Structure 1
Amino acid sequence: MGRLKVVTVGTIVVTAGAVLSGCGAQDDAQDKNPKVNAAAKASAAAVTRANLIKTKTAAAAKVKANELGQIPVLMYHRIVDKPGNQDDRTPAQFRTELERLAAEDYVPVTAAEYVTGRMDIPAGKHPVVLTFDDSSPSQFALDGTGAPKANTAVAILQDVAQRHPGFRPVATFYVTRDMFGMTKPEEREQVLLWLAGKGYDIGNHTHDHLSLRGKPEKEVDAEVAKGHRLITSLINAVPVTIALPYGNQPNTKEWALKGSSGGVSYNYGGVFLAGYTPAMSPFNKEFDPLGIPRIRSMDKKGDCARFCSVAWLDWLKANADDRYTSDGDVKTVAYPKFKAPFMTMRFTDRALPY
């Protein structure tokens, strides 16, 4: 009756009496030992983190996430009833393209979100960057009630987004001195404040829309800085990206990315060109912030049979494994393990291979 019962647990042999009589003392000893407490907390945190990573990895694999994939950056100019050149699109054509993007699980992100790697979209969805050059009145204008005028690009985008919940009504407008046809500073400020307040992105397209090719560094700096000042003088927002007029890069590519002139400094996260392929993920080693390609919006005909929006959207649909697919978590970069060699060092702390 007085014997202690011996209990075997795995390879550890303990006595029930010893456990019962000693547990209080052991707990007291642990409570008084900060090293033991720290080790226990660290161990628990490690288990929690491991479980979280396991859960996120499984979720990424389920949607076949590939955040090293390619992203269509679409380039638009005027949205008009009667196109005057190959860059113009009709309101109907623009709406049709947006409806296609929504149907194929694309979600618009801004150029700023793209180059900084902050594309917060749902799992299984694909980012698309909608960009507009030259700040034409056909892209955006306000009516007498303060709403976007009918058949402007913004009005159409807002309507499509309303019809397709989750399709974000955001885009990037690369503005010049034309500023949507507005001449008064108050009018210019009004339209930029409206766009920025609704989540739209304002980028630099230089002040006078001059080609930067062949110009000396001082002239490049001056033209880019003048466009930069145009925006920052009107709204409290600093442009994150620039789109080069005609897609022409200066003799030294870096001049468009970073420089200063007349007391104005600029340091962009990305420089956008005028064509002709999908762009690389900012998490991919092949991403080049000095020359980000864009795709002209156009049907499959002539040169556009291969290199414009309809053709490239067809290609991305047929080659889904090469397309950027989100894991739904902006804090991680998910991709199949075999694509690991393409992961850039800049974002390795967010890597989630599966």
Structure 2
Amino acid sequence: MQSLTRIIGVTNVLVVVTAIVGLWLVPGDRPVAAPPARAQERSTTAAPTGPAVGEVAEPPGVVATPEFAKQVKANELGKVPVLMYHRLVGKRRSSIDRTPAQFRQELEKLARKGYVPISAAEFAAGDIRVPAGKFPVVLTFDDGHPSHFALDAAGKPARDTAVGILLDVAARHPGFRPVATFWVNQTPFGLRSEREQEAAVRWLTGNGFEVANHTWSHPDLRSLGTKKVRKQIARLDRMLGRLGVDKVTTLALPYGSMPRSKKAARQGAWEGTRYDYDGVFLAGAEPSVSPYAKKFDRGAIQRIQSNGKKGECRKWCSQYWLEWLDKHPGERYVSDGDPERVSIPRRLRGNIEAKHRPRVNAY
């Protein structure tokens, strides 16, 4: 099964590379427990001072006992879909494009099925705070394209962007947390001035979204020497710090391509700027294993391309995998609503990573 997974991963990376190369050919489009808690009120300014958009109140005193975990069918060693998006455009010109309508439809489906978004940083750190009986999902966006986020004249997220659509869906589905991760390059969201970039980054991070590293110029890191890999990563980290990101804890590999030194993707330094990530994310082809599992590799976390079931995606993109998880509920991560415990069926105890064993709540 592991060898098959590796083959699938390589194939999916090749598909992503082919599709992204196509983007370069389009002028001007290169991307330079307890019941679910309600989201807090949204901030509407570029420099929020009130509760963040993505904040969700903690469940009121949930303590998961084995009996309760069994009741909600908790399985915190189950698979988690980490969904990968690129551009949102009215007319798709690449296989990895999605239309705003397709994006909205997928979010609506996730909300109806009981998924709750968390950030890539939260997932990689194992900080999964999802109400009992619900399922975490990670929404990720590569390249910092203008279709992901923009502020309108009133300082609010533009309604037709990914953030605008996510906020609208969350407003219609209380408990569907409006949170996502944006992995950007040197020109976040197509913004040229540092003032505009800072306003965008500060709005996002101030409202519960994650802005993190996708390298400086989006190269194939496998084609670079280790020093150049570190420069690509640390230079972007330095820029994000200048724009207001307190600490960058995740990286998405351009094209899903691992550098020859795998360690250099996760840890390193360049000209005094150091980085040490909780998670490095691939382009992916399947759901990720739980961050509490022995098999979890935080240096190579799987993702799923958002797409239908045509061509290469007939078995390896989001529609296929979300349907597969519906058909195999015992394989899906189900929360116990208690962030202090890791609730699992007793038969899975041997699959827990050693450092999480004191937290195990088996039934």
> TM exceeds 0.5?
yes
Q: Distance in 2 between matches of 1:294 and 1:338?
A: 27
Q: 1:58 Cα deviation (Å)? A: 1.1
Equivalent in 237, 250, 255 of residue 246 of structure 1: 255
Report the equivalent of 2:66. 57
Structure 2 matches for 1:130-209, cutoff 5 A?
A: 130-209=139-218
State yes or no: 1:92 paired with 2:101.
yes
Structure 2 matches for 1:187-336, cutoff 5 A?
A: 187-336=196-345
CA contact (8 A) 2:62 2:337 kept: no
The C-alpha deviation readout for 1:61-110, integer Å capped at 9, x for no partner, is 10110000100000001111111101110010000000000011000000
The C-alpha deviation readout for 1:165-202, integer Å capped at 9, x for no partner, is 00000000001112101111111000000000110011
Counterparts in 2 of 1:53 and 1:150: CA distance versus 1, 3 Å: closer
Q: Distance in 1 between matches of 2:266 and 2:113?
A: 33
Q: 1:53 Cα deviation (Å)? A: 11
Where does the alignment leave 5 or more consecutive residues of structure 2 unmatched?
A: 1-60
CA contact (8 A) 1:68 1:284 kept: yes
Counterparts in 2 of 1:245 and 1:187: CA distance versus 1, 3 Å: same
CA contact (8 A) 2:64 2:341 kept: no
SS in 1 for 2:243: coil
CA contact (8 A) 1:221 1:256 kept: yes
Q: Percent identity?
A: 48
CA contact (8 A) 1:207 1:230 kept: no
Aligned positions, number: 303
Counterparts in 2 of 1:310 and 1:225: CA distance versus 1, 3 Å: same
Give the TM-score taking structure 1 as reference length. Answer: 0.84
The C-alpha deviation readout for 1:316-352, integer Å capped at 9, x for no partner, is 1101101000000011100000001111112122111
Q: Distance in 2 between matches of 1:345 and 1:192?
A: 37
Moved more, 231-240 or 157-166: 231-240
Counterparts in 2 of 1:352 and 1:53: CA distance versus 1, 3 Å: farther
Runs of 4+ residues over 4 Å off in structure 1 = 52-55
Q: Which has the higher contact order (CA 8 A, sep 6+)?
A: 2
Where does the alignment leave 5 or more consecutive residues of structure 1 unmatched?
A: 1-51
Q: Distance in 2 between matches of 1:204 and 1:113?
A: 15
SS in 1 for 2:200: helix
The C-alpha deviation readout for 1:102-135, integer Å capped at 9, x for no partner, is 0110000000100111110100000000000000
SS in 1 for 2:91: coil
CA contact (8 A) 1:108 1:127 kept: yes
State yes or no: 1:114 paired with 2:117.
no
AA partner of residue 339 (structure 1)? L
AA partner of residue 56 (structure 1)? T
RMSD: 1.3
